[in-house]
A and B are shown apart, each in its own frame.
Chain A
Amino acid sequence: MTAPSLLAPAPARHSRSLNLVAVVTGAILIAVVVLAVFGPWFAPHPAGQTIGRPLANTGADGWLGTDRLGRDVWSQILHGGRRTVIIPLVATLAATVAGDTVGLLAGRRPRNRILDAVLMVIIAMPAMLILLLLLHRFGKSAWVPIAAVVVVAFPYSVRYARSASAKAWGSSFVEQARLRGESNGWILRHEVLPNVAGPVLSDTGLRFATSVQLVTAASFLGFGPSAPATDWATQISKNLDGASLNLWAIAAPALMIALLTVPANLLADRLAARIEQ
């Protein structure tokens, strides 16, 4: 009853420090996105330009040294950000629109065997396999990873949005709305959506990191942009062999990807926790 359970989650006594986490991660995220989007304007060297000997250490040739082809690592980072950020962003939005729309509507009648079967078929195929099959079929193009993200994310966002909206659709306040003769559209807008928007939003945030993973995986496996266009994953994959000479050639793009996805995930998780309270 009134007693806080022995085992209940601790009250958020660290809420202040957690807010600090949110501010710091948010700042990092914004900084990385700004760097990625506007980076090409500030890059010391044009994309793909050789500035010195390959795999030079930090110092003389740029502060992060050079890569396998003697290009400035820092300039490559600045040139490679746009693709790494924007393609997953587009993919996330597309996947959210597709999955959540179906999920929201499916919530009215959550038990649908046909839909469940379709979702299960997709779940049974590893994401990486779906990506590779699509690459195999349609070749190297920025749209393929986007399509892969939409397909891979589909079952999960449908299920999530469906269970979130099924709760609202089956609630007694929706039943009441029907009894006073409200239309489905009105109920969706005024009773269901307000209850679903928060969870779906935080879920979208968590999906962004997954999109980055899949999109960058394509590049890493060699299906990325052709030089001189570049992205962070391509840089890692191309420089793996020479990394013993200049560690930064792989560590820098790896860190950039981490600085993009980790704060995004932490922020979305905070949002989800706040909504659940």
Chain B
Amino acid sequence: MPIVLRLLSRLAISLALLLAVSIAVFASVEILPGDPATTILGRNASPDRVDALREQLGLDNSPVVRYWDWLKSTAQGDLGLQATGNRSVWSTISTPLRNTAILAVVAFATTSIAAVGGGLIAGRRPGNRTDRVLSIGTLSIVAMPEFVIAGLLISLFAFRLDWVSSVSLVPLGGTPLDAPSTLILPVATITLVAGSYGLRLVRALVAEASAQPFVEAARLAGVRETAVLRRHLLPSVAAPTAQVLAFSVPYLIGGTVIVEQVFAYPGLGSLLVEQIARRDVTVVEAIAMIMTTAVIAGFLIADLLGALTARHIPRSDSRPSAALP
């Protein structure tokens, strides 16, 4: 298949996926049994107020119509008004979104470095001491919930050693980048968890590639080790590694929710938890769509990178068999 067609088909698949996810999100928030208006206002709310809210949310329309309206306005970038209160959804989420984006981008960078670097070191010579130590270490880290790791990090670095603050105080009117120290523990937590997860997958890819006859042949041909890595090994793991990193995106986004809560970091995750407690349908939907869009975009970019870099590599059907996040 010509490359352009392939890219277009990937794009189409991603859009279809996004559509399917939006249905899932909408259904789980609004269509499942129970009345959202009552859910929002509580059982003791007066019928008048419930009716008013039903009106505002358009609940008297059929679910299909409501979904269509919601999809149309969301696709046009209009996130609407908050279900509770009169602020626009966008004004509520824009600052947390920016903060989370900063956290996620920095964490993605460090996670990628840890996953690829560690995976290369561990997988290059499978079974040696470094590999075994990294294997047990990462397996232990991925076993622990993020908040446990965060709790242990706080205990050690914030309270015991007093190197950093346990709370991420973002300067008023500024961004986390104005006070980079606020990012240290959150980023470290996410990197440990998502990085360990990614490292294990990259390691498996590298170990598999190391056992390829052409890598072994290169070593027996006396090719220098750095050249073996660069010329022979890396090209064949580049595309699946991109996919592994993409698969760590949902993980990373899930991680931000917890980490923001632990460190009181003013981001999208904290807002989501808060709005869920307040039962604000529209904000929850908006945040859910932003998160899944980020995930699907990550998958798409990885797919495209894979398609571009791996054109000459015989297709193997081995997607990273993502172990459960």
Tell me if chains A and B make direct contact, with any CB pair below 8 A: yes
Given contacts A126-B291, A265-B140, contact A240 B299 (CB under 8 A): no
Q: Is there an interface contact between B295 and A9, defined as CB atoms closer than 8 Å?
A: no
In whole Å, how far is A106's beta carbon from the nearest beta carbon of chain B? Answer: 15
Q: Is there an interface contact between A163 and B321, defined as CB atoms closer than 8 Å?
A: yes
Cβ of B306 under 8 Å from chain A: no
Cβ of A177 under 8 Å from chain B: no
Alpha-carbon separation in the docked complex, A205 to B127 (Å):
23
Alpha-carbon separation in the docked complex, A233 to B262 (Å):
12
In whole Å, how far is A136's beta carbon from the nearest beta carbon of chain B? Answer: 4
Alpha-carbon separation in the docked complex, A247 to B220 (Å):
55
Interface residues on A, range: 35 or more
Neighbour of B325 across the interface among A133, A210, A220, CB < 8 A: A210
Residues of A within 8 A of B279 (CB): 136
Alpha-carbon separation in the docked complex, A124 to B125 (Å):
33
Cβ of A79 under 8 Å from chain B: no
Given contacts A212-B145, A216-B147, contact A7 B125 (CB under 8 A): yes
Q: Is there an interface contact between A129 and B288, defined as CB atoms closer than 8 Å?
A: yes
Which 5 A-B pairs rank lowest in CB-CB distance, beginning with the nearest? A128-B254, A10-B127, A265-B143, A126-B254, A261-B143
Residues of B within 8 A of A127 (CB): 250-251, 254, 325
The B120-174 residues at the A interface (CB cut-off 8 A) are: 125-128, 132, 136, 139-140, 142-148, 151-152, 154-155, 158-160, 166
Cβ of A1 under 8 Å from chain B: no
> Total A-B residue pairs with C-beta atoms closer than 8 Å?
187
Q: Is there an interface contact between B253 and A126, defined as CB atoms closer than 8 Å?
A: yes
Residues of B within 8 A of A243 (CB): 151, 154-155, 159, 166
Given contacts A163-B321, A240-B154, contact A133 B28 (CB under 8 A): yes
In whole Å, how far is A200's beta carbon from the nearest beta carbon of chain B? Answer: 13
Q: Is there an interface contact between A129 and B211, defined as CB atoms closer than 8 Å?
A: no
Cβ of B219 under 8 Å from chain A: yes
Given contacts A5-B216, A132-B273, contact A217 B145 (CB under 8 A): yes
Residues of B within 8 A of A6 (CB): 216, 219-220
In whole Å, how far is A12's beta carbon from the nearest beta carbon of chain B? Answer: 9
Alpha-carbon separation in the docked complex, A124 to B292 (Å):
6
The A234-253 residues at the B interface (CB cut-off 8 A) are: 236-237, 240, 243-244, 247, 250-251
Cβ of B258 under 8 Å from chain A: yes
In whole Å, how far is B233's beta carbon from the nearest beta carbon of chain A? Answer: 11
Q: Is there an interface contact between B28 and A128, defined as CB atoms closer than 8 Å?
A: no
Given contacts A129-B288, A160-B321, contact A257 B142 (CB under 8 A): no
Q: With A7-B210, A132-B276, A251-B152 given, can you name 17 additional A-B contacts, CB distance below 8 Å?
A: A8-B211, A14-B132, A117-B20, A121-B21, A123-B250, A124-B17, A126-B251, A126-B295, A127-B254, A133-B25, A217-B145, A237-B261, A240-B166, A250-B154, A258-B143, A258-B144, A262-B140
Alpha-carbon separation in the docked complex, A71 to B127 (Å):
48
Interface residues on B, range: 35 or more
Alpha-carbon separation in the docked complex, A216 to B250 (Å):
18
Residues of B within 8 A of A257 (CB): 144-145, 148
Interface flags, A246-277, vs B, CB<8A=1, else 0: 01001100110110011011100100000000
Cβ of B75 under 8 Å from chain A: no
In whole Å, how far is B33's beta carbon from the nearest beta carbon of chain A? Answer: 9
Q: Is there an interface contact between A129 and B254, defined as CB atoms closer than 8 Å?
A: yes
In whole Å, how far is A226's beta carbon from the nearest beta carbon of chain B? Answer: 14
Which has the most chain A C-beta neighbours within 10 Å: B132, B139, B255, B324? B324
Residues of B within 8 A of A135 (CB): 276
Alpha-carbon separation in the docked complex, A255 to B288 (Å):
32
In whole Å, how far is A69's beta carbon from the nearest beta carbon of chain B? Answer: 18
Q: Is there an interface contact between A221 and B273, defined as CB atoms closer than 8 Å?
A: yes
Q: Is there an interface contact between B321 and A159, defined as CB atoms closer than 8 Å?
A: yes
Cβ of A206 under 8 Å from chain B: yes
Cβ of B192 under 8 Å from chain A: no
In whole Å, how far is B37's beta carbon from the nearest beta carbon of chain A? Answer: 14
Cβ of A137 under 8 Å from chain B: yes
